[in-house]
Amino acid sequence: LDNKAEFKVVIDMPSGTALPITANVAQRLVDELRKNIPEITALQSYVGTFSPFDFNGMVRHYYLRQESWQGVIEVQLLDKHERERTNHEIAMAARDLLTPIGKELGVRNLTFVEMPPGPPVLQSIVAEVYGPTDEVRRQVAKDLTEMFRKVPFVVDVDNYMLDPHDVLHFKVDTEKSVRRGISTDTINRNLAMAMGGFRLGDVKQGRPLEPIFVVIQVPLQERSQLGRILDLPMPAAMEPMIPVIPQALVSRTIPLAELGRFVREPVDPIIYHKDLRPIEYVVGDVVGRLGAPIYGMFAVQNLLKDYTAPDGSKISPSWFGPPRTSSHAGFEWSGEWTVTLETFSGLGVAFVVALFFIYMLIVGEFGNFILPAVIMAPIPLTMIGIIPGHWLINAPFTATSMIGFIALAGIIVRNSILLVDFAKIEVEERGRPVEQAVVMACEARTRPILITALALVLDASVMFTDPIFQGMAASLAFGVLASTLLTLIVIPLGCISARRGFNPPSQEKGGPPASPTPSGEGEETAEETEEKPSKMAKLRHGLSMALQLILGVIIGLTIQLLQLLKRLLLWVLQRLLERIGGKEAPPAESTLSPPSPVQATPAPSPPAEEVPPAPQPQAKASSPGAQPRRKQTKAGAPKRRGIRVKTDVASPKKT
């Protein structure tokens, strides 16, 4: 995790707990944190209302935490350069400190939330429970919650179900309210204002950090007793509907007790939906050496072997999507597992596509299918360095580690090409044996390959402490070290094994083979050696033509796009100049606007008489046939709505 200077303690009391009790518990926890953790610089508690939430809080729906039994403590720490412990270590110490105190105070659940370095999720481990009925679904969620708590390294276990408790509702006697002329909406509105308060406005004074509101509310000692609330006066909105009652007996306000009574009813459960299907959530986090969520999921799955759902079905978790049907109980693993699955599946497809294009490019360069396989053989060998590298610097294998593995494939292929290309030149142009050629290639190319690898290690070392790109640094640094050393062994052995991928000079010229063959087979061998280079040449030519075609199409589309963009910009400029009143536009070029019909097809002008060449001073005069053409163009051409071009006929520069 990132070493941020903050974390949160989320408090969940049993559902229905009064606000003062939750506030007292939060204050007790704040005092314990202040006394026992010296790295804390500031504490702020929020009870019955949500705290300022960040991106992580938005994903976890902290803005909905406004019940009286919910609270949160914001903890601010010293800067990471001024303390020895990381925020994760401090959060673990706070968990060990506050968990027994919370159990003593009756807290249902304490959750310690740290800022995630990557995309936030609902929780590290999430079980999305489906079922045929509400009762089956809630019972399975309760059983899964107990299984989560049995795993020793799974903490902060909770579910999103409400604890069963009763709430008070005021049941209006409609007959009495109609007789008194008071509507049900008036009763509910006044009762809500008395119990929850009515905000009149805020105080405009100075520049306060938080707004100060003016609220009308019944005092706590009054609204905490039902007998006093029943004396709450309700205004009558109309005259009595029974005319026999004298006006003197009609009161303007009616006590609440005469309009109904308070009844205690069980609270309705919250129903969550996902993709139009009812669902329940069970969440948890993992700590300790096995901090990856996958280990907690495996541990919970082991506890499901002997479990039978209330509907009599055996539950098996779904790893790659929700259950297909809700006719029987089941659940889907979500949380960080979903992010990991989507990320690695996408990167895996990208890696396969990258390998395919790398292979095709090498085939087009070397003209056969054997040497590219030898060149790409060291790519999987990078895992020999990547896995121990992550263990050495204590870094998890994340999506950035996979990105580093993909990027490393191109670097390793480059080193292999240096060796194979050198050996190919020695074999085909100088006639050296393959064994001698690969040895010479290693002697000549080892130094630049090692320098390239060391440069990459130094570049990646600056990311070893970054919480997000730490995995990429481990993949690049340790993967290139292991693969570089193994490349100097694997590539020579691969070239020797694939010696038929090289074309010695004797085979290119159609000379006799190295070993004697029978007369009948010799002619066939000679024909094969003559046909082999031609096939390779055709293959190389076909690949080059395909690449040239693709490149030509891309360049053509790019040029067309640029031309279209140019025309669009010029059209916008033309429209802007049209809207400018009283200003003359600059002379337009032929590309600014499409030519008018007259310009595209000029009207025929009377044939001009042949005039002998005149002296130089007379060249400034216009020809006799040009003037009628200009007049006809002006008279016959429609009025253009483009850029107005001012033509100065009297200018000596116009010919």
- The model's confidence at residue 128, banded by pLDDT at 50, 70 and 90, is very high
Report pTM.
0.62
Lowest mean pLDDT among 40-49, 156-165, 299-308, 553-562: 553-562
Q: Are residues 427 and 373 in the same domain?
A: yes
What per-residue confidence (pLDDT) applies to 188? Answer: 86
Q: Are residues 329 and 372 in the same domain?
A: no
- The model's confidence at residue 23, banded by pLDDT at 50, 70 and 90, is very high
Residue 602 lies in a domain: no
Percentage of the chain with pLDDT > 70? 78
What per-residue confidence (pLDDT) applies to 616? Answer: 46
**CA torsion through residues 54, 59, 65, 70, sign:** negative
Residue 147 lies in a domain: yes
Q: Are residues 482 and 402 in the same domain?
A: yes
Instruction: Please give the mean pLDDT across all residues of the chain.
Output: 77
What per-residue confidence (pLDDT) applies to 632? Answer: 42
Q: Are residues 84 and 131 in the same domain?
A: no
What whole-number distance in Å separates Cα of residue 618 and Cα of residue 250?
A: 115
Q: Is the pLDDT of residue 150 over 80?
A: yes
Q: What is the dihedral of CA 470, 471, 474, 476, to 10 degrees?
A: -110
What per-residue confidence (pLDDT) applies to 602? Answer: 44
- The model's confidence at residue 46, banded by pLDDT at 50, 70 and 90, is very high
What whole-number distance in Å separates Cα of residue 590 and Cα of residue 578?
A: 17
Residue 539 lies in a domain: no
Q: Are residues 143 and 279 in the same domain?
A: yes
What whole-number distance in Å separates Cα of residue 333 and Cα of residue 318?
A: 6
239: Cβ contacts below 8 Å, ≥ 6 apart: 181, 250
- The model's confidence at residue 504, banded by pLDDT at 50, 70 and 90, is low
The boundaries of the domain holding residue 255 are 167-266
Q: Are residues 240 and 384 in the same domain?
A: no
Residue 617 lies in a domain: no
Q: What CATH number should be reported for the domain holding residue 410?
A: 1.20.1640.10
Q: What CATH number should be reported for the domain holding residue 260?
A: 3.30.2090.10
Q: Are residues 279 and 397 in the same domain?
A: no
Contacts of the segment 289-292: beta carbons below 8 A, 24+ positions apart? 289/153, 290/153, 291/153, 291/396, 292/396
Three-class SS state of 416: helix
Q: Which of 337, 353, 382 is the last residue of a domain?
A: 337
Q: Which of 216, 233, 266 is the last residue of a domain?
A: 266
Three-class SS state of 204: coil
Q: Are residues 494 and 389 in the same domain?
A: yes
Q: Are residues 179 and 248 in the same domain?
A: yes
Three-class SS state of 381: helix
Look at 124 and 236; give whichever has higher pLDDT.
Answer: 124
Q: Are residues 160 and 300 in the same domain?
A: yes
Q: ∠104-106-109 over CA atoms, to 5°? A: 105
Contact 420, 481 (CB under 8 A): no
Residue spans of beta strands (DSSP E) within 106-181: 109-113, 125-130, 154-159, 166-172
Each residue's pLDDT tens digit, 270-317: 889 998 899 999 999 888 877 788 888 888 988 888 888 888 888 888
Residue 86 lies in a domain: yes
- The model's confidence at residue 519, banded by pLDDT at 50, 70 and 90, is very low
What whole-number distance in Å separates Cα of residue 232 and Cα of residue 230?
A: 5
Q: What CATH number should be reported for the domain holding residue 57?
A: 3.30.70.1430
Q: Is the pLDDT of residue 524 over 70?
A: no
Cα end-to-end span (Å), the chain: 78
| Helix runs in 210-330, H state only | 220-223, 226-229, 293-303
Q: How far is CA 136 from CA 129, 276, 436, 457, in A?
A: 10, 18, 74, 56
Residue 538 lies in a domain: no
Q: ∠641-644-646 over CA atoms, to 5°? A: 155
- The model's confidence at residue 605, banded by pLDDT at 50, 70 and 90, is very low
What per-residue confidence (pLDDT) applies to 239? Answer: 53
Q: Are residues 391 and 287 in the same domain?
A: no
Q: What CATH number should be reported for the domain holding residue 295?
A: 3.30.70.1440
Number of domains in the chain: 4
How many CA atoms, within 13 angstroms, populate the side-chain half-sphere of residue 164?
A: 3
Q: Is the pLDDT of residue 585 over 50?
A: no
Residue 522 lies in a domain: no
Look at 208 and 138; give whichever has higher pLDDT.
Answer: 138
Q: Is the pLDDT of residue 110 over 50?
A: yes
Residue 358 lies in a domain: no
For 524, other C-beta atoms within 10 Å of its C-beta total: 11
Each residue's pLDDT tens digit, 213-252: 888 888 877 777 888 888 888 887 555 555 555 554 445 7
What whole-number distance in Å separates Cα of residue 127 and Cα of residue 115?
A: 22
Q: Are residues 142 and 101 in the same domain?
A: no
Contact 90, 23 (CB under 8 A): no
Q: Is the pLDDT of residue 513 over 50?
A: no
Lowest mean pLDDT among 50-64, 128-142, 431-445, 518-532: 518-532
Each residue's pLDDT tens digit, 400-448: 888 888 888 888 888 888 888 888 888 888 888 888 888 888 888 888 8
Contact 234, 256 (CB under 8 A): yes
Percentage of the chain with pLDDT > 90? 12
Q: Which of 246, 266, 286 is the last residue of a domain?
A: 266
Instruction: Say if strands 233-235 and 253-255 run parallel, antiparallel, or are unpaired.
Output: antiparallel
Find the helix or strand (DSSP H, E) in which 404 lies: helix 399-430
Q: Is the pLDDT of residue 28 over 90?
A: yes
For 358, other C-beta atoms within 10 Å of its C-beta total: 17
DSSP string, 471-485: HHHHHHHHHHHHHHH
Contact 533, 508 (CB under 8 A): yes
Contacts of the segment 382-388: beta carbons below 8 A, 24+ positions apart? 382/408, 382/409, 382/412, 382/475, 382/479, 382/480, 382/482, 382/483, 383/479, 384/482, 384/483, 384/486, 385/478, 385/479, 385/480, 385/481, 385/482, 385/483, 386/474, 386/475, 386/478, 386/479, 386/482, 388/478
